[in-house]
Amino acid sequence: EGRKKAGESCSLPESSWEERLANAVTPLWRLPYQEQLQVKCESQRKILQTLASRLEELGIDAQKPGGLCCPLQPVVPSPIINGYRNKSTFSVNRGPDGNPKTVGLYVGTGRERNIVCVKANHVENIPSKHKQVAQCYEEFISRSPLDSCIFFHEGGHWRELVVRTTSCGHTMAIITFHPQELSREALATQKALLKEFFTCGPGAVCALTSLYFQESTMTRCSHEQSPFQLLHGAPHIFEELLGLKFRISPDAFFQVNTAGAEVLYQAVGKLCQATGDSVLLDICCGTGTIGLSLAHRVSKVIGVEVVEKAVEDAEWNAAFNGISNCEFHTGKAEAVLPQLLASWEDARPLVAVVNPSRAGLHYRVVRAIRNCRSIRRLLYISCKPEGEAMRNFLELCCPPDPRKKLAGEPFAPVLAIPFDMFPHTEHCELVLLFTR
């Protein structure tokens, strides 16, 4: 099923809630896959044209053929087109039929107050295992006397569900719960009922590897703010990538398309041109996947990551795979990196790979990279290059500016390669190579 052509099984009733959800979540679902790639290539072309014109405004001659800032390679296709997601987040809210305990994905916006939660059974990028767990969770909360928590101030308890799966056949479910004014005894009862449902009741069909519970009074909570409580099974699930085994915690970052990530990381390895005496700086390293997959090519890997549990995973992953030339630092990159690079006196070539969230890199991170003369080659991996990443691109390439403490020689974009990590959506992972 994972390799069928996009559009082959597309038959949803016009203007149905299912069609509206498919259009919102997977807007390219109707197009054959080759056409999806063409659409994405065109959008990446426009981004590179925008970057070229923005650089021109800074007095940098960046225009290349086609008005681009650098050559653009064709979009690299995903090895799997349907059901590729290894992580899905399902909301709990009112469905089209008014059921306040519907588990699905949102159609509509909070601003317009027209949000409806629609079951995602037909959405093509979500695997059947995720849909099965969502269906079972809906069955569980439909039996519960406790309400769903739609607005925090209106009470209610049952909130979102995150499902993570791996190619090793592991499944992790994380259920978010608003405790409101419940006593510890009442909370313990709910956790026991949840565990019983997924181990002995109808939910046992999901064969969960891990069942987690998180009490959360905020929209999103880190493990440090509110610990993930293991109700059943193993504390971690495991994934295999490029011959290595990776441990994944509930909130650790891992590329959402595992097969696509293998293709991406292999390309990153080639683009780095790292040699045996190079040091690889892996910024926003998550569970260490990029650094560890390239560790055999370089003399040393230095990873920086804000999520403490992800760094614990990265260190475990290095040890388990017998990789001894990696070190990982916990903390915000803007706090860790300037200190790390300010005292850098290593004669070995330093290659940087950055893979930030959509918020991009903090200015202090860009400044630290610019001001470190040892970094001559930088790979920026962005899932939203038209957003905050664009600001970073300009900061990397602009002339030195003493007022902004930007003394280092500017970088220049030399190659762009988009990777389709998200078939059926409009998104791409753009790898932009900068050198100086």
* 282, two tokens: 């892996």
34 annotated as a binding-site residue: no
User: Could you tell me if 271 and 431 are in contact, meaning their C-beta atoms sit under 8 angstroms apart?
Assistant: yes
pLDDT for 14: 65
Tell me how far apart the alpha carbons of residues 383 and 365 are, in angstroms, rounded to a whole number.
18
Mean pLDDT of 401-406: 88
Delimiting residues of CATH 2.40.50.1070 domain(s) in the chain:
87-239
The pLDDT assigned to 340 comes to: 87
Task: Report how far apart, in Å, the C-alpha atoms of 426 and of each of 26, 36, 244, 267, 387 are.
Answer: 8, 8, 30, 22, 14
> What does the pLDDT read at residue 62?
77
Q: Is 255 annotated as a binding residue?
A: yes
Say yes or no to pLDDT of 7 above 70. no
Residue 3 reports pLDDT greater than 50? no
What are the helix (H) ranges across 58-154? 128-143
Mean pLDDT of all residues in 183-199? 97
Indicate whether this model's pTM tops 0.75. Answer: yes
Percentage with pLDDT > 90 across the chain: 77
Nearest to 239 by CA among 293, 285, 202, 299: 293
Residue 223 has pLDDT above 80, yes or no: no
Q: Please spell the DSSP secondary structure of 301-330, one letter per residue.
A: EEEEES-HHHHHHHHHHHHHTT--SEEEEE
What backbone phi and psi angles, to 5 degrees, belong to 199? Answer: -110, -35
Q: Order of strands across the sheet with 412-419?
A: 326-330, 300-305, 279-283, 350-354, 375-382, 429-435, 412-419
**What pLDDT does residue 309 have?**
85
Band (1; pLDDT cuts 50, 70, 90): very low
- The answer to whether residue 89 scores a pLDDT higher than 60 is yes
- Residue ranges, comma separated, of all CATH 3.40.50.150 domains in the chain are 257-435
63 versus 13: the higher-pLDDT residue is 63
pLDDT band at 13 (very low <50, low <70, confident <90, very high): low
What is the pLDDT, as a whole number, of residue 8?
Answer: 46
Verify whether residue 326 is a known catalytic residue: no
How far apart are the C-alpha atoms of 361 and 364, rounded to whole Å? 8
**Sequential DSSP letters for 208-240:** -SEEEEEE-SSSS--TTTSPPEEEEE-S-EEEE
User: What is the fold, at CATH topology level, of the domain defined by 87-239?
Assistant: OB fold (Dihydrolipoamide Acetyltransferase, E2P) (2.40.50)
Is the distance from CB of 233 to CB of 208 less than 8 angstroms?
A: yes
* 355 known member of a binding site: yes
- 159, two tokens: 């909130």
257-435: CATH class: alpha beta
What confidence category does residue 6 fall into, taking pLDDT thresholds of 50, 70 and 90?
Answer: very low
Contact 55, 399 (CB under 8 A): no
Q: Does the pLDDT value for residue 93 go beyond 90?
A: yes
52-56, 159-163, 257-261, 402-406, range with the lowest pLDDT: 402-406
Out of 136, 285, 383, 428, which one is annotated catalytic?
383
